[in-house]
A and B are shown apart, each in its own frame.
Chain A
Amino acid sequence: MLARLASPRTGGLAALALVVLLLPLALRNNYYYEVAILVGLNAIVCVGLNLLIGYAGQISLGHAGFFGLGAYASAILTARYGWPPLAAMAAATGGVAVLAYLIGRPILVLRGHYLAMATLGMGIIISIVIANEDRLTGGPDGMAVPPLSLLGYRLAGERLWYWVVGALLVFAVWLAQNLVESPHGRALRALHTSEIGAEVAGIDSARHKVRVFVISAVYAAFAGSLTAHYAGFITPTKVTFFHSIELVTMVVFGGMASTFGAVVGAAVLTTLPQALTLFEEYEMVVFGAVMMLTMIFMPKGLVPTIAARFPNRRANE
């Protein structure tokens, strides 16, 4: 059993669960809990996005679009049509999955920068539509969202949400790890290395690319729904190109092809702006400089670079 614990996969998961369990000791007030919850929500999106960018080697500069669709669908169904929140979340996530499939099929034929542009365009289209349809979405000023309730019991308050998000994060990471080790995951890694080679070996690259695209979209939409219900409010800022870039940065910064890297990246880049408020006017300069310097000197990202210093452990978990 100790040997299993030492393996990067279960060991890592156990470490994450331990962090989630023990973190509240360091969280002094609701503001700290809020930041922790935001980290968790971003981490869920990043874990999914990492499957697409890190393992499958694709790129998406529009994932905030899926996040936003999940959030708004959930918000609109509960606020305007009175659906029960859990049903709305399920419908939102399912709807986004279908949409991701329909969008993914034609655009995943594209490669490299062309794919980047296509996902960028997709994200921008989604954000403009959401911002313009103000009768449905409240427009640029956003809309209020009813809180999540389970069997009549309202989920409110930072502490409760912390445990919910923490548990869901651990689950999301476990799921992602299983995916990576599954035949689907191996196919993805194969086509990342060489798409032609993988196809020669009999892998239907188009099908796998679409599948991971949909999975990462589902992660994003689910996190979006949760965010909407947690904050009680949603605005189109979460759907913009800037947020998409933030997400990609978290994944790349933390370490691509590393699920824990995605979590670490989300943690650092969500808390960094809070710490940078000290710098006030210089915040943007410092943020940009941090991004550039870490990418120049640690091009593989934080976790793989650190893990590479411990040669006994596999560097990509």
Chain B
Amino acid sequence: MVLRSVLTAFAALWLGTLQAQEPIRIGSFLAVTGPAAFLGDPEQKTLELYVEKLNSAGGVLGRKLQLFAYDSAGDAEKARTFAKRLIEQDKVDVIVGGSTTGETMAVVPLAEQAGVPFISLAGAVVIIEPVKKWVFKTPHTDRMACDKIFVDMKARGVSRVGLISGAGGFDKSMRAECLKVSKNHGVEVVADESYGPADTDMTPQLTKIRQNPQVQAVLNAGFGQGPAIVTKNFKQIGMIVPLYQSHGVASKEFIKLAGEAAEGVRLPAAALLVSDKLADSDPQKIVVARYRSEYEARFKSDVSTFGGHAYDGLMLAVEAMKKAGSADKARVRDALENVKGYIGTGGIVNMSATDHMGLDLSAFRMLEIRKGDWTLVK
């Protein structure tokens, strides 16, 4: 009698452990420290938070998620080494990571060779153009930002613009894209200045732009604290033409740093920043409002679009796994490529074999800063 119950218990335990399957492994390399910590920090927090939430809701396909996250500190070679570690050692099923373009591009050949779906969180258009079989991305491209800004400029009657950008990868990439597409919108770039990564005073460069009588608006393709300094200097030397920033400063940090000088500045950004100002009928409202409240409740700090990109990356991967019915890499990849109408914090995603980002210009909203807060430009 006792023996039977012991045997039964044993059998139940054994079968139980067989059923408790291997967890789904999500790999990530992010620039949590270093010059791009602005990006990687909210990204990592987001991934950790939502892996936890998904697990407490029962996991995905009945399996728990296990997150392997490494800090690549913005260094492409570290990113490569960690990506190899994720692929070879940790044997992850999907990679959601790569805060910067440099780190992403260094890992692309690895993902392609090993056949692991890789959802990048970096900005440059070169990541998905030309399309690579295993590589996707969630953030809007820098080219889209330029397009959105130039369209808005034209609507305001501006056709000649002064460009000022920093020395980082994001800055240079966006500057190159803006120079390329400006003609398409009938806009001419008549001044082109730059500043260094740790510069603290851009009045020399802005003074040069101000001297140029042709300049009707200024576009700062920048990221980090540089744009905040540019904005303050802009006001300091009394420039009154419109100032546009990039989506690289789409976070409350920028407003806090630039202070009053940020008044009237326009920039393209994801709907996440204005979640409370969206019309109730806006399809993105539910998703962005929920992400915002959950992130802010847990981390007691303002939400950022970069964290939003990580959220989208993770959720897209999960969605793809559910559609594919497994975590098999090839099937997940195919499912990712066929995502249609998925609502993320960055916009509505419609992927295809030729578009591994899935966002169009409407995913970007044009915002203007008024009284220290974001407002939607209609």
* A residues in contact (CB < 8 Å) with B: 28-32, 34-35, 38, 128, 131-132, 134, 139-142, 144, 231-233, 235, 237-238, 273-274, 277, 280, 283-284
Contact = CB atoms under 8 A, between A and B. Distances in A.
Given A142-B102, A144-B105, A237 B76 contact: yes
A31 B167 contact: no
B124 A30 contact: no
A131 B172 CA distance: 10
A139 B172 contact: yes
Nearest to A283: B71
B88 to A, nearest CB: 4
Interface string B151-194: 00000000000000001110011001000000000000000000
B169 A139 contact: yes
Contact of A31 (B75, B76, B78, B89): B89
7 contacts: A28-B89, A139-B169, A140-B169, A142-B106, A232-B109, A277-B70, A283-B71
Contacts of B70: 277
Nearest to A233: B106
Contacts of B22: none
A284 B37 CA distance: 14
Contacts of A232: 109
Interface residues of B, number: 30
Given A31-B87, A134-B172, A141-B100, 18 more contacts: A31-B84, A31-B88, A35-B81, A140-B168, A141-B169, A141-B172, A141-B173, A142-B102, A142-B105, A144-B105, A231-B106, A233-B76, A233-B105, A233-B109, A235-B75, A237-B75, A237-B77, A280-B71
B39 to A, nearest CB: 14
Contacts of B89: 28-29, 31-32
B147 to A, nearest CB: 20
Contacts of A233: 76, 80, 105-106, 109
B150 to A, nearest CB: 22
A232 B88 CA distance: 18
Contacts of B167: 128, 131-132, 140
Interface in B120-161: 124, 126
Contact of A140 (B84, B102, B109): B102
B169 A29 contact: no
B46 interface: no
Given A31-B89, A132-B167, A142 B76 contact: yes
Given A30-B88, A31-B89, A141 B77 contact: no
B74 A237 contact: yes
A29 B88 contact: yes
B63 interface: no
A134 B176 contact: yes
A283 B328 CA distance: 34
B236 to A, nearest CB: 26
A41 B79 CA distance: 17
Interface in B19-62: 33
B201 to A, nearest CB: 18
B101 A141 contact: yes
A246 to B, nearest CB: 11
Nearest to B168: A140
Contacts of B124: 141
Contacts of B105: 141-142, 144, 233
A274 B176 CA distance: 35
A297 B71 CA distance: 30
B77 A231 contact: yes
B331 interface: no
Contacts of A128: 167, 196
A235 B102 contact: yes
B81 A277 contact: no
B85 interface: yes
B71 A235 contact: no
A37 to B, nearest CB: 10
B11 to A, nearest CB: 35
B133 to A, nearest CB: 17
A131 B169 CA distance: 9
A38 B78 CA distance: 11
Given A38-B81, A141-B124, A235 B76 contact: yes
A141 B102 contact: yes
A216 to B, nearest CB: 21
Contacts of B84: 30-31, 34
A63 B365 CA distance: 46
Nearest to B194: A132
Given A30-B88, A132-B167, A140-B169, A235 B81 contact: no
Contacts of B173: 139, 141
A119 B368 CA distance: 47
B88 A140 contact: no
Nearest to B69: A280
Contacts of B196: 128
B169 A277 contact: no
